Chains A and B, each alone.
Chain A
Amino acid sequence: MTVGERFRIWSRRWRLDHLTTHLTLGFFALVTVTPYLWLLSTSLKLRTEVFTPTPKWIPWPINFGNYAEVFDRAPFGIFLVNTVLVVSGILAAQLLTITLAAYVFARRKFRGVDLLFLLFLIQMMIPIHATFLPNFLTLRNLDLLNTRVAMMLPFFASGYGTFLLRQAFKQIPRDLEDAAVIDGCSGLRFLWHVLIPLAKPTLVAFGLISLVSHWNDYLWPLIVTDTPDVRTLTIGLGMFVQQESGADWTLLMAATAFVTAPLLVIFLVFQRKFIESFMFSGLKGSR
């Protein structure tokens, strides 16, 4: 047996080919997770232990007091409830509006459909800040300022979501629709029973993106709300970042850990679907 062959057998036994893959993946996973670990470590430190000449990974003594202080400074429990309500309210409304709009844009033919779709795309390009004042005025006239609805209403329609879903619907072969129509299933029933189940990964992907971006919304909620009973987590988080003196790092990290944890859990639960949706977009009409 030559050395080369022996090596090949040895490497097959130890799955060396897998090993390199896993090492690479492990490396990138570590790079990705490092900031989060540092965040957790800092959130458990004493203030004097944060900025040491050599970075310390293990907080000692462990100081859970930061978390208690964060909750003492602002009503984070109420903020969490509000955030969940706002984010899920937006998502529910969006799912309804984008599926209907995407269905029309993908499957219905009428005059001006392309122009309308173009207008929808343009809506994606308007910077959100430009819409603040008109939206604020609308909400004031509806007497909705300082409510949770005020934080949701401007996002009920989504150009991005409509675009994403229209593309997904378009990729579903026409034959399926013909077959469905022959079986007497048309219009909304076709949408409900055929299109939506097939586009589920796209819906999940959009849902996660919507969830994350509205979870992290800061300026709009800050502008339309005044009282802590309707405000969201990011506003609480903002209290620990200061323009004149820098941040209160231990508290900021404790608050950030609390604010991001629910998102991480959601992502872990849905990650397979999330990744599938990107695979799906590459397989034209194979489903």
Chain B
Amino acid sequence: MRQRWVVGALVLAAAVALAVGPADAASKLIRLTFYYPVGVAGPLAKVIGEMTDKFNKENPGIEVVPVYSGDYDPTLQKVQTAVMAGNPPDIFIVEISELPTLLAMNAVIPLDDYVKKAEGGKYWDDFFPPFRENSVVKGKIWWIPFQRSTPVFYWNKELFKKAGLDPERPPQTWAELKETAKKLTVREGNEVKQWGVTVSGGWNDWLFEAFVRQNGGWLINPEGTKANFDSKEAVEALDYWVDLMHKEKVGPPHSTWGSTPPDFVAQRTAMLYHSTGILTFLRTSAKFDFGVAFMPKNKTFGAEVGGGNLAISRKIPKERQDAAWKFIEWMTSSGNAAQWSLASGYVATRKSAYEVPAMKEFLAKDARYLVARDQLQYAAGKMMAPNFQKIREILKKQLDDAVDGKVNPKEAMATVQKQVEAVIKR
């Protein structure tokens, strides 16, 4: 009898343990979905996987599941579809100009309360100011800088030598650039064998904004409410492009973002405007020595930033948002910001990341990676507005037509102004 009682008690205990145990563990574990795009070459999907694994091990109650979601555009589409279907990812990265789009969808939460408490209140000020700019709208911080880039200027030292130029001295000003580009352009009859300078197409709207900055102007105010495309500064900047690509013909009027780094490697162009994100590609692909410099100035040096930020969804429970913040804070710590920069070639987003030993050691070997950081003192946030995709298309069309000589710069920018105003007001 007694034995039977013991067995019965054991069975009951086992049943209770089975019923309660796993359920209890499941309620404690918060599983977060994290959509991320891959913007630059390299085994970045693997790097993200390794980083989230490490986070999950250090934080037993949370499991972050990284979901690769394509380039920036497909990622935005995936996020939008999921948000509209009421099934949003907890954390996601999209391109920084999409913030107004996300706000219009009411997709993200402000992070001010988290940011204030992080790292004893010193967290936010440690990010480079231009990287912070695209986070703040209506006085609130909406997302945290993560994979960030900025355009820089590359030059082929070997081709400089061949043309009798000082290979250690890249052009400093627009005027110098034009003269240098003339000397570096090689023609056989009517055919160009080697371009002097390539201002990469595809994201030429992004590069154009940098030229306007160098000329002391701006295109859209940070609030995304006012367009300034027909300003004197913008028209002059486009005038300069037309000079390079149409009148002097020292640069190709048309190219794609993906084709110009290979052109530079194949020595079909001697100088190149492109993202700092291609530096590792160039370093591992080029057989010649090349340098990285600030983009030449006109009135001032100038650049703007690009890339993607980390955001937290609005329509998820508070405890998930708290866990999501824990992950974002971890991903953007000095040490991890440095590690991510080393693995990806993106600019590290925080000043203190450059004090991390591994980073210092790496930069001691190749100082070219420091140029993008140093140029940040002249950089500003990237223009953003609702329906930014549309604004990009409008601007790109007029830029392309102008460097083709189809329309003069003044008219082109007037057209952009009119069309963009219509988009913004809607």
- Which A residues are within 8 Å of any B CB, using their own CB? 47-48, 50-53, 72-74, 132-133, 136-137, 140, 145, 218-219, 222-223, 226-227, 235, 238-249
- Between A and B, 23 residue pairs with Cβ closer than 8 Å are A47-B284, A48-B287, A51-B285, A218-B70, A218-B74, A219-B77, A222-B74, A223-B81, A226-B33, A235-B68, A239-B38, A241-B71, A242-B38, A242-B39, A243-B37, A244-B149, A244-B307, A245-B281, A246-B259, A247-B41, A247-B258, A248-B42, A248-B281
| Inter-chain contacts of B73 with A (CB < 8 A) | 243
Bound-state Cα–Cα, A132 to B277, Å = 32
Q: Tell me, yes or no, whether B57 is within 8 Å of chain A by CB.
A: no
- Which B residues are within 8 Å of any A CB, using their own CB? 33, 37-43, 45-46, 65, 67-74, 77-78, 81-82, 84-87, 149, 257-263, 265-268, 275, 277-278, 281, 284-287, 306-307, 345
Asked if B285 and A140 make an inter-chain contact with CB atoms under 8 angstroms apart, the answer reads no
* Residue of A74, A218, A245 touching B275 (CB-CB under 8 A): A245
Q: Nearest-CB distance from B15 to chain A (Å)?
A: 28
Q: From A251, which residue of chain B is reached at the shortest CB distance?
A: B41
Bound-state Cα–Cα, A14 to B245, Å = 54
Known: A226-B65, A245-B275, A249-B262. A53 touches B41 (CB 8 A): no
| Inter-chain contacts of B81 with A (CB < 8 A) | 132-133, 136, 223
Asked if A246 and B87 make an inter-chain contact with CB atoms under 8 angstroms apart, the answer reads no
Q: Nearest-CB distance from B46 to chain A (Å)?
A: 6
Asked if A246 and B67 make an inter-chain contact with CB atoms under 8 angstroms apart, the answer reads no
Asked if B261 and A48 make an inter-chain contact with CB atoms under 8 angstroms apart, the answer reads no
Which residue of B85, B265, B268 has the most chain A CB atoms within 10 A of its CB atom? Answer: B85
Known: A73-B46, A145-B87, A244-B149. A50 touches B74 (CB 8 A): no
Known: A223-B78, A248-B41. A140 touches B85 (CB 8 A): yes
Tell me the total A-B contact number using a CB cutoff of 8 A: 110
Q: Nearest-CB distance from A72 to chain B (Å)?
A: 8
Known: A47-B285, A52-B266, A223-B81. A235 touches B70 (CB 8 A): yes
Asked if A133 and B85 make an inter-chain contact with CB atoms under 8 angstroms apart, the answer reads yes
Which residue of A73, A219, A226, A238 has the most chain B CB atoms within 10 A of its CB atom? Answer: A226
Q: From A51, which residue of chain B is reached at the shortest CB distance?
A: B266
Asked if A73 and B45 make an inter-chain contact with CB atoms under 8 angstroms apart, the answer reads yes
Bound-state Cα–Cα, A51 to B277, Å = 19
Asked if B87 and A222 make an inter-chain contact with CB atoms under 8 angstroms apart, the answer reads no
Q: 3 shortest A-B CB distances, which residue pairs?
A: A246-B258, A51-B266, A245-B40
* Residue of B45, B78, B85, B345 touching A239 (CB-CB under 8 A): B45
Q: Nearest-CB distance from B222 to chain A (Å)?
A: 22
| Inter-chain contacts of A240 with B (CB < 8 A) | 41
Asked if B306 and A244 make an inter-chain contact with CB atoms under 8 angstroms apart, the answer reads yes
Bound-state Cα–Cα, A53 to B287, Å = 11
Asked if B262 and A50 make an inter-chain contact with CB atoms under 8 angstroms apart, the answer reads yes
Bound-state Cα–Cα, A52 to B288, Å = 12
| Inter-chain contacts of A132 with B (CB < 8 A) | 77, 81
Asked if B38 and A219 make an inter-chain contact with CB atoms under 8 angstroms apart, the answer reads no
Q: From B80, which residue of chain A is reached at the shortest CB distance?
A: A133
| Inter-chain contacts of B275 with A (CB < 8 A) | 244-245
Q: Nearest-CB distance from B276 to chain A (Å)?
A: 9
* Residue of B65, B87, B257, B260 touching A243 (CB-CB under 8 A): B257
Bound-state Cα–Cα, A200 to B93, Å = 49
Q: From A141, which residue of chain B is reached at the shortest CB distance?
A: B85
| Inter-chain contacts of B266 with A (CB < 8 A) | 51-53
Q: From A69, which residue of chain B is reached at the shortest CB distance?
A: B43
Asked if B45 and A238 make an inter-chain contact with CB atoms under 8 angstroms apart, the answer reads no
Q: From A46, which residue of chain B is reached at the shortest CB distance?
A: B285
Bound-state Cα–Cα, A244 to B278, Å = 8
Bound-state Cα–Cα, A222 to B75, Å = 9
Q: Nearest-CB distance from B210 to chain A (Å)?
A: 15
Bound-state Cα–Cα, A165 to B110, Å = 55
Bound-state Cα–Cα, A181 to B46, Å = 64
Bound-state Cα–Cα, A223 to B75, Å = 8
Bound-state Cα–Cα, A47 to B280, Å = 12
Known: A244-B307, A245-B275. A136 touches B85 (CB 8 A): yes
Asked if A243 and B285 make an inter-chain contact with CB atoms under 8 angstroms apart, the answer reads no
Bound-state Cα–Cα, A78 to B260, Å = 34
Asked if B77 and A243 make an inter-chain contact with CB atoms under 8 angstroms apart, the answer reads no
* Residue of A48, A73, A145, A243 touching B39 (CB-CB under 8 A): A243
Known: A47-B284, A223-B81. A246 touches B262 (CB 8 A): yes
| Inter-chain contacts of B38 with A (CB < 8 A) | 239, 242
Asked if B41 and A227 make an inter-chain contact with CB atoms under 8 angstroms apart, the answer reads no
Known: A243-B71, A247-B258. A137 touches B85 (CB 8 A): yes
| Inter-chain contacts of B72 with A (CB < 8 A) | 243
Asked if A245 and B41 make an inter-chain contact with CB atoms under 8 angstroms apart, the answer reads yes
| Inter-chain contacts of B41 with A (CB < 8 A) | 240, 242, 245-248
Which residue of A51, A244, A246 has the most chain B CB atoms within 10 A of its CB atom? Answer: A244
Bound-state Cα–Cα, A48 to B287, Å = 7
| Inter-chain contacts of A218 with B (CB < 8 A) | 70, 74
* Residue of B37, B45, B84 touching A74 (CB-CB under 8 A): B45
Asked if A244 and B285 make an inter-chain contact with CB atoms under 8 angstroms apart, the answer reads no
Q: Nearest-CB distance from A49 to chain B (Å)?
A: 9
Q: Nearest-CB distance from A88 to chain B (Å)?
A: 25
Bound-state Cα–Cα, A48 to B266, Å = 9
Bound-state Cα–Cα, A74 to B78, Å = 20
| Inter-chain contacts of B42 with A (CB < 8 A) | 248
| Inter-chain contacts of A238 with B (CB < 8 A) | 70-71, 74
Bound-state Cα–Cα, A240 to B258, Å = 12
| Inter-chain contacts of A53 with B (CB < 8 A) | 266-268
Bound-state Cα–Cα, A223 to B39, Å = 18
